[in-house]
Structure 1
């Protein structure tokens, strides 16, 4: 069923298309009774015929509903369209993705990057406490939400838990995952070396590596590793330690920032911060000035019903690494570049920087 403005989905009236990709669409909608604005993510019919994609969609709902944090985009409801298509209802965020900002600004001052990374690490603390590993942190999955607080005009929120996994709990077995046969999922440019070898190897420290890569990209205007092909990028990541900011930019950086990134981007995961909490504590020692008081977490509507997750079929993962690298800042549910973008969506749809070396940089910092 084609969706049009004016249609009613999950009790909300659709207003406009926010973004479209190969697997789904994101629509803005509003409640006629409360006026609440939401973003509705719909799995398209051509994706719904693939059991692994349906499982991934359902899994995203199950995982997102388990995380309670003002730094993670809230799932409000799950449901289906009148013809049975799966949909997820998320809070509507006002702002832009970090990927969009970096395309416009190239790189950002530390005073601007600091609260973003702090928020992301807070979101990771909540996710890891819920036994969730994100596995695909990147600028396109970090949304910079405008707030009503003058001392803190924006807040970073983590998006898209489409390829997340649940880690093993005490005495419990893992749920069936969507990474059968140790398939590699995620975005190469921000992926930890052990995750390049196989997504099933990723634990909390893979998310910490990704945060380090995002911070490096935001501060320097460059990725820690850049190559003309994904194969070259992966080879460098597996064989070399990440460069320092000074090596990447030619500028001198505070020793504390360099030490944090060096540890977060350690090639051997046993040398990284062991937990998001420790990484957050270390990052906060670098605060550029007095920190504003954090607002209380927003109210969160309960998930109306649980979603069963049965044994999945093996996923279909492309072996073309170059194609995957070209989409390093696509959200996971988009399996090819979007065919239409009407507005900045809840789930960022724009690609991040290219993997080509030698990008230009602004003058001044």
Structure 2
């Protein structure tokens, strides 16, 4: 592989991309693996890059002198069977997909010190992240050709029951052949195997675990819910958005801030983000349909998405089904206390109703003051704690991405409790004054 392979290591919420430590002044850094012969066949020549789980080296086949790329699991993970299995599963998953758009896996084995490795084809080029940073917004015909190739490769993976789950520009490697872009999908390290069969291996993840890259996560993936191949369709929609506009649809300062936007916010329209990019209306519709929150409303297969991309040039646009967005939990809602014998708090299903439906309309200000005074006395008498809430920094205007262009009613999932009725003939006794 070429230098940009350093950017393509699979990550999860807790993983970090590691940077090699700086050597002491005047002391050259020596990689002890350089020159090592693996399986009596592959000689390690140069470090191409390092990531969270291991390093990638340029190597040469000892007999036929062919260049290959070898990915070696980091030594600290060699004794952890679950990480070793996850590492080798990347090789098995990619090898199981027989398609020109997926990187080829040639061999695998272990180093002399017990670290697992696998051998893959060496590619000379760059990833799409570099292309976007340098050239985006890209013209529509070029975006279409790149995206159709991604769709074909991922459809081949889905046909084998393999869901990538970490599709992003850094995992799409671009070569130039005969003057045109050729794209290959890399890094199946966190792939999910929906229909595992012998020789491929079992999926290591389960519901409730979050894997992937937050900028490209589908809402169901961000919530750790059960998901399927349609998470890849959503991720390709994000890649399309970025190729056409030069920016991802959602921006935030934190990991959780990005996940919240994927779950709750409507994406902006690409033509509003890049008004001078000459994005066809039908192409915009394709992107927005791929980004629908409900997986049932997206394209259902990669082949469907590829067909819609091709149909854009004929002016054919897919139908975008209006959907009700889930509301963010209410922040700073008044707290109320209730006794153990009080009825359970009612719950509200997803809705587009106003934030305070009629049965829970906020009481008049005068009644609120009396109620607060009574509750303050109870809190002081019982020695209860006072909790303070503050705004999520990811919701600050300067920390968020472009404004949404789809109006959604302010529905609420977490409503304040209705005020407890005051008993007749008794007034709350003041406990303090100012």
TM band (smaller chain)? 0.7 to 0.9
Q: Distance in 2 between matches of 1:37 and 1:137?
A: 26
Match of 1:71 in 2: 101
Q: Distance in 1 between matches of 2:52 and 2:266?
A: 35
1:183 match: secondary structure: coil
Match of 2:274 in 1: 249
Q: Distance in 2 between matches of 1:21 and 1:195?
A: 23
Q: Which has the larger radius of gyration?
A: 2
- CA shift, 1:106, in A, is 4.2
What are the within-5 Å matches in structure 2 for residues 183-202 of structure 1?
183-198=209-224, 201-202=226-227
> Are 1:240 and 1:267, in contact at CA under 8 Å, matched by a contact in 2?
no
What are the within-5 Å matches in structure 2 for residues 149-160 of structure 1?
149-150=178-179, 152=180, 154-160=181-187
Match of 1:282 in 2: 308
Q: Distance in 2 between matches of 1:270 and 1:212?
A: 15
Q: Distance in 2 between matches of 1:125 and 1:181?
A: 23
- CA shift, 1:287, in A, is 5.2
Match of 1:58 in 2: 88
Uncovered stretches (5+) of structure 1, i.e. residues with no partner:
289-321, 326-354, 359-365
> Are 1:114 and 1:287, in contact at CA under 8 Å, matched by a contact in 2?
no
- CA shift, 1:98, in A, is 0.7
2:210 match: secondary structure: coil
Which residue of 71, 78, 96 maps to 2:126? 96
Q: Distance in 1 between matches of 2:313 and 2:82?
A: 43
Q: Distance in 2 between matches of 1:118 and 1:50?
A: 38
Q: Alpha-carbon deviations, 1:155-199, whole Å to 9, x = none?
A: 1000000000111479x9x9642224520000110111111011x
- Is 1:203 the counterpart of 2:232 in the alignment? no
- Is 1:236 the counterpart of 2:261 in the alignment? yes
Match of 1:5 in 2: 34
Q: Distance in 1 between matches of 2:230 and 2:54?
A: 30
Match of 1:292 in 2: none
Q: Distance in 2 between matches of 1:237 and 1:229?
A: 13
Tell me how large the CA RMSD over aligned residues is. Answer: 2.6
1:286 match: secondary structure: helix
Q: Distance in 1 between matches of 2:120 and 2:79?
A: 23
- CA shift, 1:357, in A, is 4.3
What are the within-5 Å matches in structure 2 for residues 8-87 of structure 1?
8-10=37-39, 11-87=41-117
Higher relative contact order (CA 8 A, sep 6+): 1
Match of 2:192 in 1: 165
- CA shift, 1:3, in A, is 4.2
- CA shift, 1:210, in A, is 0.3
> Which segment drifts farther, 103-112 or 269-278?
103-112
Uncovered stretches (5+) of structure 2, i.e. residues with no partner:
1-30, 315-391, 403-434
Which residue of 124, 134, 154 maps to 2:164? 134
- CA shift, 1:286, in A, is 3.0
- CA shift, 1:59, in A, is 1.4
Q: Distance in 1 between matches of 2:401 and 2:295?
A: 26
TM-score normalised according to structure 1 size: 0.73
> Are 2:78 and 2:114, in contact at CA under 8 Å, matched by a contact in 1?
no
Name the count of aligned residue pairs: 288
Q: Distance in 2 between matches of 1:233 and 1:77?
A: 38
- CA shift, 1:50, in A, is 2.4
- CA shift, 1:127, in A, is 0.3
Q: Distance in 2 between matches of 1:281 and 1:26?
A: 36
TM-score normalised according to structure 2 size: 0.62
Q: Distance in 1 between matches of 2:62 and 2:86?
A: 31
Match of 1:312 in 2: none
- Is 1:225 the counterpart of 2:254 in the alignment? no
